[in-house]
Structure formats: C-alpha cells, structure tokens
C-alpha cells in the first residue's frame, strides 16, 4: 500500500518507538500527525518532519476525534500507529496479608484505559474515517498497526496490569482485522521486546544497566533500537498481504519471571 501523499497518525509519537515510526512514515511521503501529550517534543518533531502536532490524551475520546478529523482534512488518512502507552510494576498481593497492600486497583484501571481502551478508541475512530477513502487498485483504504509487547506473552512478576493491557491488544488483533476487512482496512500488531528508549535514562549507569539487560537477549545480545521496530511497523503498513498478524520483534528473547 502506497502511503505517499496521504496522512498518518502516530500516537505516543514525541519520543522512542513512536518518534522513529513518525520519521519513517514521513520519509515515505506521508504527512504525519504527531499525537502526544508532550507538546514541546511533539511540536519539535512535527516541525522536523514537516508534519502537524495534535495534543492527544488517548483516554479522551474528543481529542482522538479532533486528531483523526485534522488528519483527514489534510489528505486521505491511510495509516495509523498506536504507540502511546504506560507501564506499571506492582505485585498482585503484598507480603503482609493486608488487602490494603494488594495491587492498586486505580493504577490497574489506568494502565488498561491508556494501553488497551485508548488503542481501541483510536482504531475505531480512525478506521471509520479510513472507510470513506477511495480504495486503491488492491481494494485497500488504510492500514493500522498497534504496539503491544512481549509482556503479552511473557509477563514478569509485577506486570499484571501491563501484561493484561498488552494481552488485550494482541487478543483483539484478529477480530478487529476481521471487522475491518469489509472496508478494505488491514490491522496488525507488533510486539517489541527490550527496546532502548528514554525510559532507561542516559549516562554511564544507564548504559551499564542496558548492557546488562541486553545479555538476556538471544541474539543480538543488546537492546533493540527504535528504527528496528519502526521498520517492522512500516512493513506491516505497506505490505498489502500483511493482515491480522502479531509479530514479535525481540531478538528472540523469552522473558524470565523477574
């Protein structure tokens, strides 16, 4: 599928994997809507890649609506990448036998609200706008890629909320792709492993920590980089025969319990 001359939305685009995806989409000729909460970084990236910034909290339906409408006003919306997400680490129960020490329920709900419900809200709204596009020669009107995580399969101790949210993204891949097929819209999911993003910080201590983490990767024994993930995202968007699939991009890692 050719995305040159179309618009693309990337949530969580101000940094990390999202930013790498935004840059590669722009290089393919798409006008990218950089959708993020971080206005300073988002506006800077939008200026760099000649896109537009949209301040989007994916838990706010009206902000998603504004972003998809803004994209459609520029050019046909043909590509969406759902990269916005947060993490949380807490064991399901505490060590003292008190219910008050059990997993924070509001935190669990927030992770689900952003990572899973926010992703689905963007999918349902963006796909609705895509369904109005003129189909290409292959009958396609658009393509969507959701970002999950290997935690959907190999969740570690303390990752109940995060794994549940990403497992939900994996689980809805096939049924949503089936829903969208009649409108000529494809949907795939990419599940990253350990990726070098700003969450690990900077400096010698950070570098040493990341090197240690990389030792657990099968091969190559390092963290992945944003461009490696973005490359797979772009392939899923542009390869017309990629549909309803979940692809791990993780160097072969299988996460241990902790």
The residues annotated as belonging to the active site are: 162
At residue 253, the 3 state secondary structure works out as coil
CA 102 to chain CA centroid, nearest Å: 29
Interatomic CA distance for residues 125 and 117, integer angstroms: 12
Interatomic CA distance for residues 32 and 157, integer angstroms: 37
Contact indicator for 28, 51 with CB cutoff of 8 Å = no
Q: Determine which helix (DSSP H) or strand (DSSP E) holds 163, and give its type and residue range.
A: helix 160-171
Q: Considering only CA atoms, which of 167, 184, 189 is closest in space to residue 244?
A: 189
Strands 142-147 and 246-249: unpaired
Interatomic CA distance for residues 163 and 56, integer angstroms: 23
Interatomic CA distance for residues 174 and 145, integer angstroms: 12
Contact indicator for 130, 141 with CB cutoff of 8 Å = yes
Task: Please give the full DSSP string across 113-143, using - where no structure is assigned.
Answer: IIIIIHHHHHHHHHHHHHTTSPP-TTS--EE
For the chain, the residue count is 258
Cis peptide bond upstream of 220, omega within 30: yes
């Amino acid at each position: 599928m050719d995305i040159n001359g179309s618009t693309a939305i990337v949530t969580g685009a101000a940094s990390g994997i999202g930013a790498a995806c935004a840059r590669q989409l722009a290089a393919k000729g798409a006008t990218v809507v950089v959708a993020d909460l971080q206005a300073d970084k988002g506006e800077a990236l939008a200026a760099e890649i000649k896109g537009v910034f949209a301040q989007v909290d994916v838990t706010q339906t009206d902000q998603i609506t504004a972003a998809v409408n803004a994209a459609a006003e520029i050019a046909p919306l043909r590509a969406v990448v759902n990269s916005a997400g947060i993490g949380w680490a807490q064991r399901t129960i505490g060590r003292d036998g008190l219910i008050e020490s059990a997993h924070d329920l509001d935190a669990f709900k927030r992770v689900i609200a952003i990572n899973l419900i926010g992703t689905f809200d963007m999918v349902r709204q963006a796909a609705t706008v895509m369904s109005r596009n003129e189909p290409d020669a292959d009958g396609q009107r658009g393509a969507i890629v959701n970002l999950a995580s290997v935690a959907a399969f190999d969740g570690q101790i303390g990752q109940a909320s995060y794994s549940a949210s990403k497992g939900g993204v994996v689980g809805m891949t096939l049924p949503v792709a089936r829903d969208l097929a009649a409108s000529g819209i494809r949907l795939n999911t990419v599940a990253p492993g350990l990726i070098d993003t700003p969450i690990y910080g900077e400096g010698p201590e950070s570098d040493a920590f990341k090197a240690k983490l990389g030792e657990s990767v099968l091969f190559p024994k390092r963290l992945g980089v944003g461009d490696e993930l973005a490359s797979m995202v772009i392939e899923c968007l542009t390869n017309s025969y990629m549909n309803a699939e979940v692809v791990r991009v993780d160097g072969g890692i299988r996460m241990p319990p902790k």
